[in-house]
Amino acid sequence: MQYPGFKFEVVATKDAAKAGVMTTRHGVVETPVFMPVGTRGTVKSLSPDDVADTGAEILLGNTYHLYLRPGEKLIQSFGGLHEFMRWDKPILTDSGGYQVSSLGLFKPGEAGNHLSKIDDDGVTFRSHLDGSTHRFTPEKAVQIQHDLNSDILMAFDEATPDKGRDYARQAMERTHKWLVRCKAEWQRLESNNALFGIIQGGSFEDLRRESAQFVIEQDLPGIALGGGSVGQDPAETELNAAWVRDMWPTNKPVYFMGVGVKPSDLVAAVKSGADMFDCVAPTKLARTGLLYTGTLTGLDQPDLAAVRFESAYDNERIAIEKLEFAADDRPIDDGCGCYTCAHGFSRAYLRHLFRSRELLYYRLASIHNVFMMVNTVKLLRSYILGSW
Ligand SMILES: [Zn+2]
């Protein structure tokens, strides 16, 4: 099926890994691609130019947050999220499903939930800002994303909590019914953006395959792998991908939701066949003083399995506040080409800024972490294309 305003084409493969070109209404994205998260219409501490200079080609915005504040109608009155935040490249929005369905459900020891109530028609939830009551239905979630003028809309889903098989099936079936309603609303609105369906099914292979079958049958522009431990645990993410990979259509992008806590997670996801991924971790970690260091190795090897992200530090990052960096004149990472490293900002200076809570720290640190993620994936793409 053809979709006005959206196209995806695989241009090279290497084992399960793919390099592709995705065309949206706001430009072309080369895949695989890491999407920085701009929850409230900003990648925290970075200007749109800062973000673009890291090489980022597409951003993620959060429907739940933007709906609550400042409200999608206000953003629409400014011409949509691109205009409002002054970012002219593609934007993907989540549906808010994860936020509203997890507002209370995932709290340990709780039988029910206290901020949200899920029924077959939608989710009623209370705002974390002021406690006011709101309701998302599949139609509403699509309408909000439409008003934001997002290029890629995500279907409204219930992120499957770890509550056993019966609940995983129930949540999956509800997500499937919601997907049909999201598709109908998306078609009714005729806005030439793309809608992606989300594969759920928890940590159960047969449910995952059943869900993949259903989502793929909807013949939407793209599909996503969500819920369960996808994104949280690299091994679980790989396992989930392996369960359904033989079912994926070759002409559609596959989005691994929430993947990318550290650079090696991206390497694993690309090897598993991911075309897109997002994570708040790079900017969140940067703000807490954790900065990625390391490098992709094995790019001169013909075997993709030999390609790895290697770092001398635990979890592929340094904690800049440590005393050992107090007089360290090196950049965060010797091999990094980001603005922060290329301009020679030293670890000692960054440590000083961090300890002083100087605002410049947040910008310099976030630029570096986002750049590391975006460019790790760009190098992998070059490897897949054979042009490294
Ligand atoms: Zn850097």
Tell me what the pLDDT averaged over the chain comes to.
Answer: 94
Q: Tens digit of pLDDT for each residue in 216-228?
A: 999 999 999 998 7
Distance (angstroms) between ligand 1 centre and the Cα of 338 equals: 4
- Contact status, residue 354 vs residue 291, Cβ threshold 8 Å: no
| Element (DSSP H or E) covering residue 124 | strand 123-126
- Read off the pLDDT of each residue in 166-184 and give the average, rounded to a whole number: 96
- pLDDT band at residue 277 under the 50/70/90 scheme: very high
Span from the CA of 10 to the centroid of ligand 1 (angstroms) = 30
For residue 184, what pLDDT is reported?
98
pTM for the model stands at 0.96
**What pLDDT shows up at residue 172?**
95
pLDDT at 8: 98
As a whole-number percent, the residues of the chain with pLDDT over 90 amount to 87
Task: Give tens-digit pLDDT for 48-101.
Answer: 999 999 999 999 999 999 999 999 999 999 999 999 999 999 999 999 998 887
Q: What pLDDT is attached to residue 23?
A: 98
pLDDT of residue 108: 43
Residue 368 CA, ligand 1 centroid: distance in Å: 4
Q: Measure 382 CA to ligand 1 centroid, in angstroms.
A: 20
Judge contact between 157 and 200, C-beta under 8 A.
yes
- Measured CA to CA, the distance from residue 138 to residue 126 in angstroms comes to 17
Tell me the CA–centroid distance for residue 54 and ligand 1, in Å: 9
245 CA distance to ligand 1 centroid (A)? Answer: 34
Catalytic residue among 50, 147, 151, 278: 278
Does the pLDDT at position 388 exceed 60?
no
What region does 87 belong to: left with phi over 0, alpha with psi -120 to 50, or beta? beta
Q: What is the pLDDT of residues 242-255, one digit of tens each?
A: 999 999 999 999 99
Residue 370 C-alpha to ligand 1 middle, in angstroms?
A: 9
Q: In this predicted model, what pLDDT tens digit does every residue of 279-327 receive, in sequence order?
A: 999 999 999 999 999 999 999 999 999 999 999 999 999 999 999 999 9
362: pLDDT strictly greater than 90: yes
Whether residue 166 lies in the annotated active site: no
Helices (H), the chain: 48-53, 63-68, 72-77, 81-85, 97-101, 138-148, 165-189, 205-217, 234-244, 263-271, 281-287, 339-342, 347-355, 359-385
Cα 134 to ligand 1 centroid, rounded to whole Å: 42
- The pLDDT value recorded for residue 124 is 92
17 C-alpha vs ligand 1 centroid, how far in Å?
Answer: 26
94 is catalytic: yes
Name the catalytic one among 94, 147, 265, 333: 94
Kindly state the average pLDDT of the residues 329-334.
98
